[in-house]
Amino acid sequence: MKQKTKIFKIILLVVVIAIMVAVTIYLIPTFKELSSEAGQQAFKQKVNDSGFVGFLMLFGLQFAQIFLVFLPGEPLEILAGMCYGAVGGMLFIFFSVALTTTVIYLLVRKFGKELIYDSFGKEKIEKIENSKAFQNPKNLEFIFAICFAIVGTPKDLLTYLGALFPIKPIRFIAIATFCRFPSIISSTIVGQYFSQGNWEVSIIVYLITFAITFLMIWLVKIFDKDKITQNALKELK
Protein backbone atom coordinates (compact mmCIF):
# COMPACT_ATOMS: atom_id res chain seq x y z
CA MET A 1 0.00 0.00 0.00
CA LYS A 2 2.87 2.33 0.88
CA GLN A 3 4.46 1.77 -2.54
CA LYS A 4 1.16 2.37 -4.32
CA THR A 5 0.72 5.64 -2.41
CA LYS A 6 4.16 6.84 -3.52
CA ILE A 7 3.47 5.92 -7.15
CA PHE A 8 0.11 7.70 -7.04
CA LYS A 9 1.71 10.86 -5.63
CA ILE A 10 4.47 10.80 -8.26
CA ILE A 11 1.95 10.46 -11.10
CA LEU A 12 -0.19 13.23 -9.63
CA LEU A 13 2.85 15.48 -9.24
CA VAL A 14 3.84 14.99 -12.90
CA VAL A 15 0.30 15.82 -14.02
CA VAL A 16 0.19 18.91 -11.82
CA ILE A 17 3.53 20.21 -13.06
CA ALA A 18 2.40 19.73 -16.66
CA ILE A 19 -0.84 21.59 -15.98
CA MET A 20 0.93 24.43 -14.16
CA VAL A 21 3.46 24.84 -16.98
CA ALA A 22 0.69 24.87 -19.59
CA VAL A 23 -1.41 27.38 -17.63
CA THR A 24 1.61 29.62 -17.01
CA ILE A 25 2.60 29.68 -20.69
CA TYR A 26 -1.01 30.31 -21.66
CA LEU A 27 -1.41 33.30 -19.34
CA ILE A 28 2.06 34.94 -19.40
CA PRO A 29 1.27 37.29 -22.33
CA THR A 30 -1.81 38.53 -20.50
CA PHE A 31 -0.10 38.94 -17.11
CA LYS A 32 2.39 41.35 -18.71
CA GLU A 33 -0.43 43.63 -19.83
CA LEU A 34 -2.62 43.62 -16.72
CA SER A 35 -1.74 47.22 -15.84
CA SER A 36 -3.44 48.48 -19.01
CA GLU A 37 -7.16 48.48 -19.79
CA ALA A 38 -6.56 46.55 -23.00
CA GLY A 39 -4.60 43.91 -21.08
CA GLN A 40 -7.38 43.54 -18.52
CA GLN A 41 -9.94 42.98 -21.25
CA ALA A 42 -7.67 40.44 -22.93
CA PHE A 43 -7.33 38.53 -19.65
CA LYS A 44 -11.09 38.42 -19.10
CA GLN A 45 -11.55 37.26 -22.69
CA LYS A 46 -9.12 34.39 -22.21
CA VAL A 47 -10.94 33.30 -19.08
CA ASN A 48 -14.28 33.43 -20.91
CA ASP A 49 -12.86 31.50 -23.83
CA SER A 50 -11.55 28.76 -21.50
CA GLY A 51 -15.03 28.13 -20.15
CA PHE A 52 -15.46 24.79 -18.40
CA VAL A 53 -11.92 23.73 -19.35
CA GLY A 54 -10.56 26.65 -17.35
CA PHE A 55 -12.75 25.63 -14.42
CA LEU A 56 -11.39 22.08 -14.58
CA MET A 57 -7.79 23.29 -14.74
CA LEU A 58 -8.24 25.43 -11.64
CA PHE A 59 -10.03 22.65 -9.81
CA GLY A 60 -7.28 20.17 -10.71
CA LEU A 61 -4.64 22.52 -9.35
CA GLN A 62 -6.64 23.14 -6.17
CA PHE A 63 -7.11 19.41 -5.60
CA ALA A 64 -3.43 18.69 -6.17
CA GLN A 65 -2.36 21.60 -3.95
CA ILE A 66 -4.17 20.14 -0.95
CA PHE A 67 -3.24 16.53 -1.74
CA LEU A 68 0.47 17.15 -2.38
CA VAL A 69 0.69 19.56 0.61
CA PHE A 70 3.89 21.36 -0.45
CA LEU A 71 2.31 23.35 -3.28
CA PRO A 72 1.30 26.88 -2.11
CA GLY A 73 -2.43 27.47 -1.92
CA GLU A 74 -2.66 31.26 -1.91
CA PRO A 75 -1.62 31.79 -5.57
CA LEU A 76 -4.49 29.53 -6.63
CA GLU A 77 -6.93 31.49 -4.49
CA ILE A 78 -5.69 34.73 -6.07
CA LEU A 79 -6.02 33.18 -9.52
CA ALA A 80 -9.60 32.14 -8.71
CA GLY A 81 -10.34 35.75 -7.77
CA MET A 82 -8.84 36.95 -11.03
CA CYS A 83 -10.92 34.51 -13.07
CA TYR A 84 -14.27 34.66 -11.27
CA GLY A 85 -14.16 37.78 -9.09
CA ALA A 86 -14.03 37.97 -5.30
CA VAL A 87 -17.37 36.25 -4.57
CA GLY A 88 -17.27 33.83 -7.51
CA GLY A 89 -13.67 32.90 -6.72
CA MET A 90 -14.57 32.35 -3.07
CA LEU A 91 -17.45 30.03 -4.01
CA PHE A 92 -15.18 28.15 -6.41
CA ILE A 93 -12.57 27.63 -3.65
CA PHE A 94 -15.24 26.57 -1.16
CA PHE A 95 -16.55 23.99 -3.65
CA SER A 96 -13.12 22.60 -4.53
CA VAL A 97 -11.92 22.53 -0.90
CA ALA A 98 -15.08 20.76 0.28
CA LEU A 99 -14.78 18.10 -2.43
CA THR A 100 -11.04 17.64 -1.92
CA THR A 101 -11.38 17.48 1.86
CA THR A 102 -14.06 14.80 1.50
CA VAL A 103 -11.77 12.68 -0.70
CA ILE A 104 -8.82 13.05 1.67
CA TYR A 105 -10.97 12.30 4.72
CA LEU A 106 -12.24 9.07 3.16
CA LEU A 107 -8.74 8.04 2.03
CA VAL A 108 -7.24 8.54 5.49
CA ARG A 109 -10.13 6.66 7.09
CA LYS A 110 -9.61 3.77 4.64
CA PHE A 111 -5.80 3.53 4.56
CA GLY A 112 -4.98 4.92 7.99
CA LYS A 113 -2.04 6.98 9.23
CA GLU A 114 0.40 5.37 6.81
CA LEU A 115 -1.09 7.51 4.06
CA ILE A 116 0.22 10.72 5.64
CA TYR A 117 3.48 9.59 7.26
CA ASP A 118 5.47 10.18 4.06
CA SER A 119 4.21 13.74 3.70
CA PHE A 120 4.41 14.95 7.29
CA GLY A 121 6.53 12.43 9.17
CA LYS A 122 5.46 9.71 11.59
CA GLU A 123 6.90 11.45 14.65
CA LYS A 124 5.07 14.71 13.93
CA ILE A 125 1.69 13.01 13.45
CA GLU A 126 2.07 10.91 16.61
CA LYS A 127 3.20 13.97 18.57
CA ILE A 128 0.07 15.88 17.55
CA GLU A 129 -2.22 12.90 18.27
CA ASN A 130 -0.75 12.45 21.75
CA SER A 131 -0.62 16.13 22.67
CA LYS A 132 -2.96 17.38 25.42
CA ALA A 133 -4.43 19.98 23.08
CA PHE A 134 -5.92 17.30 20.84
CA GLN A 135 -6.82 14.77 23.53
CA ASN A 136 -10.08 16.32 24.73
CA PRO A 137 -12.93 15.52 22.28
CA LYS A 138 -14.94 18.50 23.56
CA ASN A 139 -12.29 20.95 22.38
CA LEU A 140 -11.50 19.38 19.01
CA GLU A 141 -14.04 21.17 16.82
CA PHE A 142 -13.21 24.55 18.39
CA ILE A 143 -9.46 23.98 17.96
CA PHE A 144 -9.83 22.97 14.32
CA ALA A 145 -12.14 25.92 13.63
CA ILE A 146 -9.67 28.44 15.07
CA CYS A 147 -6.69 26.83 13.34
CA PHE A 148 -8.41 26.88 9.95
CA ALA A 149 -9.55 30.49 10.48
CA ILE A 150 -6.14 31.92 11.36
CA VAL A 151 -4.18 32.91 8.26
CA GLY A 152 -0.82 31.16 7.98
CA THR A 153 -1.61 27.90 9.77
CA PRO A 154 -0.74 24.64 7.94
CA LYS A 155 -4.24 23.98 6.62
CA ASP A 156 -3.16 21.06 4.44
CA LEU A 157 -1.86 19.22 7.51
CA LEU A 158 -5.09 20.04 9.34
CA THR A 159 -7.10 18.60 6.45
CA TYR A 160 -5.36 15.25 6.82
CA LEU A 161 -5.57 15.25 10.62
CA GLY A 162 -9.35 15.46 10.70
CA ALA A 163 -9.89 11.78 9.94
CA LEU A 164 -7.68 10.77 12.87
CA PHE A 165 -9.91 12.34 15.50
CA PRO A 166 -13.49 11.65 16.67
CA ILE A 167 -15.20 14.40 14.68
CA LYS A 168 -18.22 13.60 12.51
CA PRO A 169 -17.28 13.71 8.80
CA ILE A 170 -19.86 16.33 7.77
CA ARG A 171 -18.96 18.61 10.68
CA PHE A 172 -15.24 18.36 9.97
CA ILE A 173 -15.67 18.99 6.23
CA ALA A 174 -17.80 22.05 7.03
CA ILE A 175 -15.16 23.35 9.46
CA ALA A 176 -12.29 22.67 7.04
CA THR A 177 -14.14 24.48 4.26
CA PHE A 178 -15.92 27.49 5.72
CA CYS A 179 -13.51 28.38 8.52
CA ARG A 180 -10.94 29.22 5.83
CA PHE A 181 -13.10 32.24 4.97
CA PRO A 182 -10.65 35.00 6.13
CA SER A 183 -7.80 33.66 3.99
CA ILE A 184 -9.94 32.80 0.97
CA ILE A 185 -11.95 36.01 0.74
CA SER A 186 -8.87 38.21 1.16
CA SER A 187 -7.00 36.32 -1.58
CA THR A 188 -9.91 36.37 -4.03
CA ILE A 189 -10.45 40.09 -3.44
CA VAL A 190 -6.76 40.65 -4.13
CA GLY A 191 -7.08 38.55 -7.28
CA GLN A 192 -10.06 40.55 -8.52
CA TYR A 193 -8.34 43.91 -8.07
CA PHE A 194 -5.02 42.57 -9.32
CA SER A 195 -6.70 41.63 -12.60
CA GLN A 196 -7.87 45.24 -12.83
CA GLY A 197 -4.37 46.57 -12.24
CA ASN A 198 -5.42 48.07 -8.88
CA TRP A 199 -2.41 47.32 -6.68
CA GLU A 200 -3.39 49.81 -3.96
CA VAL A 201 -6.56 47.92 -2.99
CA SER A 202 -4.67 44.61 -3.01
CA ILE A 203 -2.10 45.97 -0.54
CA ILE A 204 -4.84 47.42 1.70
CA VAL A 205 -6.69 44.08 1.73
CA TYR A 206 -3.53 42.24 2.82
CA LEU A 207 -2.87 44.78 5.58
CA ILE A 208 -6.44 44.37 6.86
CA THR A 209 -6.08 40.57 6.72
CA PHE A 210 -2.86 40.67 8.76
CA ALA A 211 -4.52 43.00 11.28
CA ILE A 212 -7.50 40.63 11.66
CA THR A 213 -5.13 37.67 12.07
CA PHE A 214 -3.19 39.38 14.86
CA LEU A 215 -6.49 40.36 16.50
CA MET A 216 -7.71 36.76 16.41
CA ILE A 217 -4.46 35.49 17.93
CA TRP A 218 -4.66 38.18 20.62
CA LEU A 219 -8.26 37.27 21.47
CA VAL A 220 -7.37 33.59 21.66
CA LYS A 221 -4.58 34.37 24.13
CA ILE A 222 -6.96 36.41 26.29
CA PHE A 223 -9.93 34.03 26.41
CA ASP A 224 -8.07 30.72 26.15
CA LYS A 225 -6.93 30.72 29.78
CA ASP A 226 -5.94 27.06 29.68
CA LYS A 227 -3.84 27.77 26.56
CA ILE A 228 -5.44 24.82 24.77
CA THR A 229 -5.59 26.50 21.36
CA GLN A 230 -2.17 28.12 21.78
CA ASN A 231 -0.62 24.73 22.49
CA ALA A 232 -2.42 23.24 19.47
CA LEU A 233 -0.96 25.93 17.21
CA LYS A 234 2.52 25.20 18.58
CA GLU A 235 2.12 21.48 17.94
CA LEU A 236 1.21 22.16 14.31
CA LYS A 237 4.40 24.13 13.56
Predicted confidence (pLDDT) per residue in 92-122, tens digit: 999 988 988 898 888 888 777 777 777 777 7
pLDDT at 132: 76
Interatomic CA distance for residues 71 and 76, integer angstroms: 10
What's the whole-number mean pLDDT along residues 47-76?
Answer: 67
Q: Picking from 2-16, 22-36, 73-87, 205-219, which range would have the lowest pLDDT averaged per residue?
A: 22-36
Q: Picking from 46-55, 162-171, 178-187, 214-223, which range would have the lowest pLDDT averaged per residue?
A: 46-55
**Which tops the pLDDT comparison, 199 or 164?**
164
Interatomic CA distance for residues 9 and 1, integer angstroms: 12
- On the question of pLDDT at 70 being above 70, the answer is no
Mean pLDDT score of the chain, rounded to an integer? 75
Provide, rounded to the nearest whole percent, the portion of the chain with pLDDT above 90: 7
Q: Which of 176-180, 194-198, 229-233 has the highest mean pLDDT?
A: 176-180
Interatomic CA distance for residues 62 and 206, integer angstroms: 21
What's the whole-number mean pLDDT along residues 168-184?
Answer: 90
pLDDT at 171: 92
Q: Among candidates 105, 84, 63, 100, which has minimal Cα distance to 185?
A: 84
Interatomic CA distance for residues 115 and 120, integer angstroms: 10
pLDDT at 235: 66
For 230, residues 6+ apart whose C-beta sits below 8 A from its C-beta are 220, 221, 224
* 3-class DSSP assignment, residue 135: coil
pLDDT at 94: 92
pLDDT at 106: 85
